[in-house]
């Protein structure tokens, strides 16, 4: 690449994104992509992954196709691009109404940045439409989803290699924040990109102190939580495994005037999600009580702490979630509250994601009784609401697996085998998390070792083992939660800038 | 106390042991089936039709289970009834938190959400303009709403500068809310939901908590205020030209089936039932079903040509006396009335 072109990158960076300089890794990855190389990039959360394909979009002749597993994340990205003036971005996913979908497909050539969910790529119609346009870059976001060894395996991802070929073999950019060696090998294998250039940047975030606090039981854990929330400087995120607990805790924090707090999870409708995200962004909310549904795609720089009320099911998820703290580079804190009862709960969560043997057998009997014709297989999934005894995740998995089988007589055995394998992997993952929690030694070192990394240097306020001075993180202003007093004339005047 | 409980008890009471719990659920959700529509009209619950489209089966079942466990309702077979204890609880709760009077789901269920989505997005846009900001995260993500609002601005900006529009819109809103206040409706219920420049609105849960209300109560109150506003705007369109344009529906949805609509056209041309039946090659019964459908959905449709006023009165009195909407019971008590007449009269009963 010549000097002139390098200048161009910085120019585009400023013109389109209003940044004056690249963050670590971004430029190298962009240059690799522009050279037409298959690229595998491992960048920690919050380091600006999306820029690595958005910026090349302004140089490459054709469209950028981005596969992303999370619909809400996809929509956030598209909205963010629209906000900065890019109108040629669109998200193709199951949330589109039929009218919207047909509009988008008719005008596909208009779009430069096409986000798509892996399920959508299973549709022949969509593949055909994609074949009609020029695709210059095929981006696989959260690429670890392709691997059985990844913490978030998604079978649909396995088809992406084939789809790449159908789409005219454009270069690939595979992005992830967390992938060990095994996972990286799988990514390259399944996407047919063995020759890919790899860019791997440390998952370590020096400014985040890592701490595990043990409690004897649930009640003690709860009091510790309120104590921390009352002392620590916000804003902060509290992560829960249960929506109900997130709701209740937010209410309790507000009752004790430690907030303002709100709860955020998948049950909220889109308008509520936007309002809460914005309130948090503008520091009107101090604490967000959330499930893992909250965080991705939220560009808030000044999050001062993350508290996990339940341990995540994998080290990867944990690292992703604590990585949302301190994006401004300032001192931040990650606390995991743990009591032995949690293990039981987490095991239940894992089991709840997979069908049991009894459920598989019952499912087979149900299929037999109903004698579905092949044309109806698509609709089996929709029958969920009428079926008792399965969680939605279990039901979908059963249906997906069944409809994809070629030899249906072997379905029950194959399904059971699959479940066993997944359980083994998930338990292995959970055990890693637990070994981290119980680790007697530097916690940061332990975390890094999961990703084949070493701790480079001693860090001040490193972890609970090396020592953390909690007074650094306390709220010195002792800001008290204000009571809102309703004054509609004032509020309306503010909205319309009348004063 | 979950406000769903008194609402549910109210519905059960009104259905006087003639309908199931599912009928209540579909009524609140606003299911557009002939059965639910008929229930809403015959049992006098038009205002509750489709007032809680977001209600989940799960939440509803929970409320039902609680009411049953507390012996406020009894469910026998397919039918639900209210108990004395249930009546007391319901009266007590409605005494403290009356069912919002302006609620009218029947008339506004296809406008209320649209109106709110349009209003909130337009206010947010104007507020950002006022702060010289053209880029912001829209509070409404629905692509069709965004498009509608874009078109609205395109048209309106032919007549107004940005500043004029902001002034006029603010003035209309201020006047509207001031008038609401004078009728003892609290504008905060609406105003704090609105989003401005770097000023996200509050969520329903947040406002409910600040008032120490049950969430469902706030939900109903908010909806009733929106209904109040839409009614007012439609009555006083000259006074609120800008806001009225958000409360207009380009393609109102009809309760009538296509076939029913066709029959209605023939009726308007003065054709008799027999003639329509012959022309359309449909059974007389089917045409009668259509006429009942029309009587239910069109308030201006008169049933006088089909049922003599004296008989209308008798059917009315019988239904009130027996406290029933069961055709068979009415017919038994009043043999001279045919089923078609009874159905027509029930469709026109006072709400």
Q: Kindly provide the ipTM of the predicted complex, given to two decimals.
A: 0.84
Whose CA is closest to A177, among A63, A17, A69, A289? Answer: A69
Using pLDDT thresholds of 50, 70 and 90, give the confidence band for residue A386: low
**Does pLDDT of A376 surpass 70?**
no
Tokens 């999600």 correspond to A273
User: How many helical (H) and strand (E) elements, i.e. helices and strands, does chain B have?
Assistant: 19, 2
Intra-chain end-to-end CA distance of chain B, in Å: 28
Q: A85 contacts in B (CB within 8 Å)?
A: 135
Q: B127 and A495: CB-CB below 8 Å? A: yes
Q: A107 contacts in B (CB within 8 Å)?
A: none
CATH topology of domain B4-99: Arc Repressor Mutant, subunit A (1.10.10)
Q: A411-437 vs A392-404: helix axis angle to the nearest 10?
A: 130
Please give the average per-residue pLDDT across B298-325, as a whole number: 88
Tokens 């038009």 correspond to B46
Q: What are the structural domains of chain A?
A: 3-200 (3.40.50.300), 208-345+438-488 (3.40.50.300), 353-429 (no CATH)
Using pLDDT thresholds of 50, 70 and 90, give the confidence band for residue A388: low
Q: What is the pLDDT of residues A335-353, one digit of tens each?
A: 999 999 888 888 888 888 8
Q: DSSP class of residue A301?
A: S
Residue, of A235 and A477, whose pLDDT is higher: A235
Q: A486 contacts in B (CB within 8 Å)?
A: 186, 188, 192, 210
**Does pLDDT of A175 surpass 50?**
yes
> Residue A488 is nearest to which of B191, B195, B209, comparing CB atoms?
B191
Residue A418 sits at φ, ψ, to 5 deg, of -60, -45
Name the residue in chain A with its Cα closest to that of B144: A100
**A270 at interface of B, judged by CB pairs closer than 8 A:** yes
Name the residue in chain B with its Cα closest to that of A269: B54
Which element (helix H / strand E) includes B250? Answer: none
At A2 the pLDDT is 47
Rounded alpha-carbon distances, angstroms, from residue A96 to A129, A296, B113, B141, B144: 17, 21, 19, 11, 11
Please give the average per-residue pLDDT across A129-138, as a whole number: 93
- For residue A307, what are the β-bridge partners? A238, A335
Whose CA is closest to B249, among B102, B115, B105? Answer: B115
Q: B194 contacts in A (CB within 8 Å)?
A: 491-492, 495
At A14 the pLDDT is 87
**A499 at interface of B, judged by CB pairs closer than 8 A:** no
> Residue B203 is nearest to which of A79, A254, A276, comparing CB atoms?
A276
Q: Count CB-CB contacts under 10 A for residue A469.
A: 11
Q: B205 contacts in A (CB within 8 Å)?
A: 262, 272
Q: How far off is chain B from A57, nearest CA to CA, in Å? A: 21
Q: A262 contacts in B (CB within 8 Å)?
A: 203, 205-206
Residue, of A407 and B148, whose pLDDT is higher: B148
Domain boundaries, chain B: 4-99, 112-246, 255-301, 302-351
C-alpha A243 chain-centroid distance: 17
Residues 6 or more apart in contact with residue B300 via CB below 8 angstroms: none
Burial status of residue A80 (CB atoms within 10 A of its CB: 0-12, 13-18, 19 or more):
middle
Q: B195 and A282: CB-CB below 8 Å? A: no
**A269 at interface of B, judged by CB pairs closer than 8 A:** yes
Q: B209 and A271: CB-CB below 8 Å? A: no
Q: Which two tokens stand for residue B170?
A: 């603010």
Please give the average per-residue pLDDT across A128-156, as a whole number: 86
Please give the average per-residue pLDDT across B82-87, as a whole number: 92
Sign of the CA dihedral with B170 first, then B172, B175, and B181 last: negative
Interface test with B, best of A275, A284, A386, A498 (most B CBs within 10 A): A275
Q: Which two tokens stand for residue B192?
A: 């704090």
Least confident residue range of A336-345, B123-132, B250-259: B250-259
Q: What is the pLDDT of residues A65-124, one digit of tens each?
A: 999 887 777 887 888 888 888 889 999 887 777 788 888 898 899 999 999 988 888 888
Q: Which two tokens stand for residue A26?
A: 């971004």
Using pLDDT thresholds of 50, 70 and 90, give the confidence band for residue A458: confident
> Residue A100 is nearest to which of B143, B191, B197, comparing CB atoms?
B143
**B171 at interface of A, judged by CB pairs closer than 8 A:** no
Q: How far off is chain B from A382, nearest CA to CA, in Å? A: 16
Q: B139 and A271: CB-CB below 8 Å? A: yes
Tokens 């509020």 correspond to A491
**Assign residue A392 a region: left if phi > 0, alpha if psi is -120 to 50, beta otherwise?**
alpha
Query: What's the CA gap between A25 and A45, in Å, rounded?
Result: 13
**Does pLDDT of B251 surpass 80?**
no
**B53 at interface of A, judged by CB pairs closer than 8 A:** no
Query: What's the CA gap between A271 and A387, in Å, rounded?
Result: 30
Q: How far off is chain B from A416, nearest CA to CA, in Å? A: 30
Query: What's the CA gap between A155 and A400, in Å, rounded?
Result: 9
Name the residue in chain A with its Cα closest to that of B143: A100
Q: What is the pLDDT of residues B98-115, one digit of tens each?
A: 999 999 999 898 899 999
Tokens 């032995």 correspond to A340
Q: What is the pLDDT of residues A254-297, one digit of tens each?
A: 888 887 999 998 888 888 988 999 999 999 999 999 998 787 66
**B268 at interface of A, judged by CB pairs closer than 8 A:** no
**Does pLDDT of A1 surpass 50?**
no
Q: B187 and A282: CB-CB below 8 Å? A: no
| Vertex B291 angle, CA B288 and B292, to 5° | 90
Whose CA is closest to A308, among A428, A211, A425? Answer: A211
Residue B33 sits at φ, ψ, to 5 deg, of -110, 155
**Does pLDDT of A389 surpass 80?**
no
Average pLDDT over chain B reads: 90
Q: Which two tokens stand for residue A147?
A: 């691997």
Using pLDDT thresholds of 50, 70 and 90, give the confidence band for residue B258: confident
Query: What's the CA gap between A10 and A73, in Å, rounded?
Result: 27
Q: Which two tokens stand for residue B107?
A: 């008339």
- Residue B306 · residue B344 · CB < 8 Å: yes
User: Residues of B numbered 192-231 whose beta carbons fall under 8 angstroms of chain A's beta carbons: which are they?
Assistant: 192, 194-206, 209-210
Q: A491 and B191: CB-CB below 8 Å? A: yes
At A179 the pLDDT is 75
Average pLDDT over chain A reads: 86
Q: DSSP class of residue A119?
A: T
Q: A75 contacts in B (CB within 8 Å)?
A: 141
Pairs from B148-151 (Cβ < 8 Å, separation ≥ 24): B148/B118, B149/B118, B149/B121, B149/B122, B149/B125
Q: A411-437 vs A315-322: helix axis angle to the nearest 10?
A: 50
Name the residue in chain A with its Cα closest to that of B57: A385
- Rg of chain B over Cα atoms, rounded to whole angstroms, equals 23
DSSP string, A209-246: EEEEEE-SSHHHHHHHHHHHHHHB-S-EEEE-S-HHHH
Q: Residue A84, SS3?
A: coil
Total count of residues recorded for chain B = 351
Q: Which two tokens stand for residue A310?
A: 């339940």
At A308 the pLDDT is 97
Q: DSSP class of residue B49?
A: T
Using pLDDT thresholds of 50, 70 and 90, give the confidence band for residue A381: low
Burial status of residue B211 (CB atoms within 10 A of its CB: 0-12, 13-18, 19 or more):
middle
**A489 at interface of B, judged by CB pairs closer than 8 A:** yes
Strands B79-82 and B73-76, how do they pair?
Answer: antiparallel
**Does pLDDT of A377 surpass 70?**
no
Q: A83 and B136: CB-CB below 8 Å? A: yes
- Residue A42 · residue A64 · CB < 8 Å: no
> Residue B139 is nearest to which of A84, A274, A487, comparing CB atoms?
A274
Query: What's the CA gap between A307 and A213, in Å, rounded?
Result: 10
User: Residues of B numbered 127-156 whose beta carbons fall under 8 angstroms of chain A's beta carbons: which are they?
Assistant: 127, 130-131, 135-144
Helix residue ranges, H only, A306-410? 315-322, 341-352, 357-370, 377-380, 392-404
Please give the average per-residue pLDDT across B312-332, as a whole number: 87
Least confident residue range of A284-298, A422-436, B124-138: A284-298
Which element (helix H / strand E) includes A114? Answer: strand A113-116
**Does pLDDT of A384 surpass 60?**
no
Q: A495 and B123: CB-CB below 8 Å? A: yes
Query: What's the CA gap between A341 and B327, in Å, rounded?
Result: 60
Q: B144 contacts in A (CB within 8 Å)?
A: 97, 99-100
Q: A495 contacts in B (CB within 8 Å)?
A: 123, 127, 194-197, 199
Please give the average per-residue pLDDT across B139-155, as a whole number: 89
**A496 at interface of B, judged by CB pairs closer than 8 A:** yes
Using pLDDT thresholds of 50, 70 and 90, give the confidence band for residue B76: confident
- Residue A251 · residue A287 · CB < 8 Å: no
Q: A79 and B141: CB-CB below 8 Å? A: yes
Residues 6 or more apart in contact with residue B39 via CB below 8 angstroms: B15, B19, B23, B26, B27, B45
Whose CA is closest to A304, among A228, A203, A390? Answer: A228
At A378 the pLDDT is 53
Q: B170 and A79: CB-CB below 8 Å? A: no
Please give the average per-residue pLDDT across B233-240, as a whole number: 94
**A98 at interface of B, judged by CB pairs closer than 8 A:** no
Query: What's the CA gap between B239 and B247, in Å, rounded?
Result: 14
Percent above pLDDT 90 for chain A: 39
**A407 at interface of B, judged by CB pairs closer than 8 A:** no
Query: What's the CA gap between A469 and A462, in Å, rounded?
Result: 10
Q: Residue B171, SS3?
A: helix
Please give the average per-residue pLDDT across B247-276, as a whole number: 84
Please give the average per-residue pLDDT across B62-79, as a whole number: 90
| Vertex B207 angle, CA B202 and B209, to 5° | 130
Q: What is the pLDDT of residues B272-301, one digit of tens each?
A: 898 999 989 999 988 998 899 888 888 788
Whose CA is closest to A176, among A323, A275, A354? Answer: A323
């Amino acid at each position: 690449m010549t000097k002139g072109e390098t200048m161009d990158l910085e120019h585009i960076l400023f013109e389109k994104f209003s940044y004056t300089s690249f963050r670590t890794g971004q430029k190298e990855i962009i240059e690799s992509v522009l050279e037409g190389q298959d690229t595998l990039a491992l960048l920690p959360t919050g380091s600006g992954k999306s820029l690595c394909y958005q910026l090349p979009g302004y140089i490459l002749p054709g469209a950028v196709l981005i596969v992303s597993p999370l619909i809400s994340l996809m929509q956030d990205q598209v909205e963010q691009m629209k906000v900065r003036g890019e109108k040629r971005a669109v998200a193709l996913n199951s949330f589109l109404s039929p009218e919207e979908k047909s509009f988008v497909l008719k005008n596909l050539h208009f779009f430069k940045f096409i986000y798509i969910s892996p399920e959508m790529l299973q549709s022949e119609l969509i593949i055909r439409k994609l074949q009609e346009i020029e695709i210059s870059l095929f981006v696989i976001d959260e690429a670890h989803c392709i691997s059985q060894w990844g913490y978030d395996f998604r079978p649909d991802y396995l088809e992406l290699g084939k789809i790449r070929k159908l789409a005219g073999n454009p270069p690939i950019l595979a992005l992830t924040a967390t992938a060990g060696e095994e996972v990286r090998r799988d990514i390259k294998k399944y996407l047919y990109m063995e020759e890919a250039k790899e860019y791997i940047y440390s998952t370590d975030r020096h400014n985040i102190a890592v701490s595990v606090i043990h409690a004897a039981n649930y009640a003690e854990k709860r009091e510790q939580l309120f104590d921390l929330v009352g002392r620590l400087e916000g804003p902060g995120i509290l992560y829960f495994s249960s929506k109900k607990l997130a709701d209740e805790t937010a209410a309790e924090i507000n009752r004790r005037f430690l907030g303002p707090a709100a709860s955020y999870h998948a049950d909220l409708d889109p308008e509520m999600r936007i309002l809460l995200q914005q309130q948090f962004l503008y520091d009107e909310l101090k604490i967000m009580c959330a499930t893992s549904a909250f965080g991705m795609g939220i560009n808030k720089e000044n999050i001062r702490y993350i508290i996990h009320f339940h341990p995540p099911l994998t080290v990867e998820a944990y690292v992703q979630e604590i990585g949302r703290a301190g994006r401004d580079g300032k001192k931040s804190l990650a606390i995991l509250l743990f009591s032995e009862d949690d293990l039981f709960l987490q095991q239940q969560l894992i089991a709840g994601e997979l069908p049991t043997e009894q459920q598989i057998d019952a499912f087979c009997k149900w299929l037999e009784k109903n004698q579905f014709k092949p044309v109806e297989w698509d609709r089996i999934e929709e029958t969920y609401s009428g079926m008792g005894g399965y969680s939605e995740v279990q039901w979908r998995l059963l249906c997906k697996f069944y409809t994809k089988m070629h030899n249906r007589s072997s379905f029950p055995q194959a399904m059971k085998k699959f479940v066993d394998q997944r359980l083994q992997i998930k338990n292995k993952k959970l055990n890693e998390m637990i070994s981290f929690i119980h680790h007697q030694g530097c916690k940061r070192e332990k975390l890094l070792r999961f990703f084949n990394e070493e701790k480079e240097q001693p860090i001040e306020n490193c972890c609970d083992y090396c020592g953390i001075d909690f007074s650094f993180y306390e709220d010195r202003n002792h800001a008290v939660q204000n009571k809102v007093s309703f004054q509609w004339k004032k509020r309306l005047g503010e909205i319309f800038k009348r004063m | 106390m979950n406000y769903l409980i008194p609402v549910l008890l109210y519905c059960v009471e009104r259905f006087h042991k003639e309908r199931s719990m599912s009928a209540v659920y579909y009524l609140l959700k606003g299911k557009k089936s002939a059965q639910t529509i008929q229930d809403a009209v015959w049992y006098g619950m038009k205002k509750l039709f489709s007032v809680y489209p977001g209600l989940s089966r799960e939440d509803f079942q929970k409320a039902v289970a609680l009411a049953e466990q507390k012996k406020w309702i009894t469910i026998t077979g397919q039918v639900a009834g209210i108990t004395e204890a249930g009546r007391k609880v319901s009266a007590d709760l409605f005494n403290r938190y009356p069912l919002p009077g302006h609620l009218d789901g029947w008339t506004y269920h296809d406008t209320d959400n649209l109106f709110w989505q349009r209003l909130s997005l337009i206010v947010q846009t104007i507020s950002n303009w006022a702060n010289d900001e053209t880029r912001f995260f829209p509070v409404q993500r629905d692509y069709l709403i965004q498009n509608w609002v874009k078109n609205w601005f395109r048209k309106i900006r032919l007549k107004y500068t940005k500043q004029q529009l902001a002034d006029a819109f603010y003035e209309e809103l201020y006047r509207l809310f001031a008038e609401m206040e004078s009728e003892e409706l609290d504008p905060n219920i609406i105003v704090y939901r609105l989003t401005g420049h770097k000023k996200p609105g509050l969520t329903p849960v947040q406002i409910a908590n600040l008032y120490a209300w049950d969430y469902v109560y706030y939900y109903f109150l908010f909806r009733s205020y929106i209904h109040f506003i839409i009614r007012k705007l439609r009555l006083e369109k000259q006074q609120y030209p800008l806001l009225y344009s958000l409360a207009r529906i380009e393609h109102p949805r009809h309760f009538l089936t296509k076939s029913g609509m066709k029959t209605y056209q023939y009726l308007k041309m003065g054709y008799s039932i027999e003639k329509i039946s012959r022309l359309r090659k449909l059974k007389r019964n089917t045409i009668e079903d259509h006429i009942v459908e029309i009587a239910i959905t069109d308030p201006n449709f008169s049933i006088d040509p089909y049922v003599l006023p004296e008989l209308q009165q008798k059917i009315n009195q019988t239904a009130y006396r027996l406290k029933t909407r069961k055709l068979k019971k009415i017919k038994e008590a009043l043999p001279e009335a045919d089923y078609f007449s009874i159905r027509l009269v029930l469709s026109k009963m006072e709400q």
